[in-house]
Structure 1
Amino acid sequence: MSHHLLRCATGAMLFSALLSGASAGECPADKLAPNPLNGAATAPMGVTDTELASIDLARENVKLNQRRLRMRHMVIQPGGVVPLHSHADRPALIMVTAGEIHEHSSKCAVPILHRAGDIAREALGTQHWWKNSGSQPVHLTIADIVNDKKPDTMMEQM
């Protein structure tokens, strides 16, 4: 397929999604509600997390002491779990690059399905856990600002 046809097809899919009100990888508007996350997974299972690179933000113009901007690659095997954790002190952007996974969020009454191409925005107030209920591994590319002096905001395995 030529680049022009690919751009047209991609644009048509995006336009169709906007017209239908679809918001891939987000909590449906009518399901936005506090969720106590009863029964949340508390231990990782079937997860491989690899830090690819990082930048010490104390040395950059933003001068954020004890903070790093990092990029990670995570693989969650079928049945695998990223346990309950908070983003109180660790904003993140998470892109699903392969597979499908459900996020159980403190801000949504139902699990949120994320598919390849979706980007989850994790910010202040977010607590959540993820489960791969499918039959294929899920691949995530994650960029976050981590506070290395506050491990309570992330599982040591994450």
Structure 2
Amino acid sequence: MVPESKGITAKILSTVDLGPEIEGMASRQFRMRMFTFEPGAVFGPLHDHKDRPGIVYILQGTITDHRNGV
């Protein structure tokens, strides 16, 4: 069973509509968001980023990331 998210706040910092910038990217968006995780927070449910790449930068603390069932 995959737990739901808890202890997380999210703030959208910026968005870029990719349609006018890149051919074939209509209705696609690049978003920059800042997440704040409280101690013991859970980011769920499980999801993937197939055809939707993401970048994570940790400003402070440690995050455990589980991928492919590991």
TM-score range (shorter-chain normalised) is 0.7 to 0.9
Tell me the distance in 2 between the aligned counterparts of 1:89 and 1:50: 23
Tell me the distance in 2 between the aligned counterparts of 1:81 and 1:49: 13
Identical aligned residues as a percent: 32
Greater radius of gyration (CA): 1
Over the residues paired in the alignment, what is the CA RMSD in angstroms? 1.5
- 2:20 aligned to 54, 59, 80, which one? 59
The one-letter code of the counterpart of 2:7 is: G
Tell me the distance in 2 between the aligned counterparts of 1:78 and 1:98: 12
Would you tell me which structure has more helix in proportion to its own residues? 1
Please report how far the alpha carbon of residue 81 of structure 1 lies from its aligned counterpart in structure 2 after TM superposition: 0.6
Matched, 1:80 2:41: yes
SS in 1 for 2:57: strand
Write the deviation string for residues 105-135 of structure 1: whole angstroms up to 9, x where unpaired.
117x4xxxxxxxxxxxxxxxxxxxxxxxxxx
Would you tell me which structure has more strand in proportion to its own residues? 1
- 2:30 aligned to 69, 73, 76, which one? 69
Query: What runs of 5+ residues in structure 1 fail to find an aligned partner?
Result: 1-38, 110-158
2:60 paired residue number? 98
Aligned length: 68
Runs of 4 or more above 3 Å deviation:
none
The one of the two structures with greater contact order (alpha-carbon pairs below 8 A, sep at least 6) is: 2
Query: What runs of 5+ residues in structure 2 fail to find an aligned partner?
Result: none
Tell me the distance in 1 between the aligned counterparts of 2:7 and 2:32: 20
Tell me the distance in 2 between the aligned counterparts of 1:90 and 1:78: 28
TM-score calculated relative to the size of structure 1:
0.40
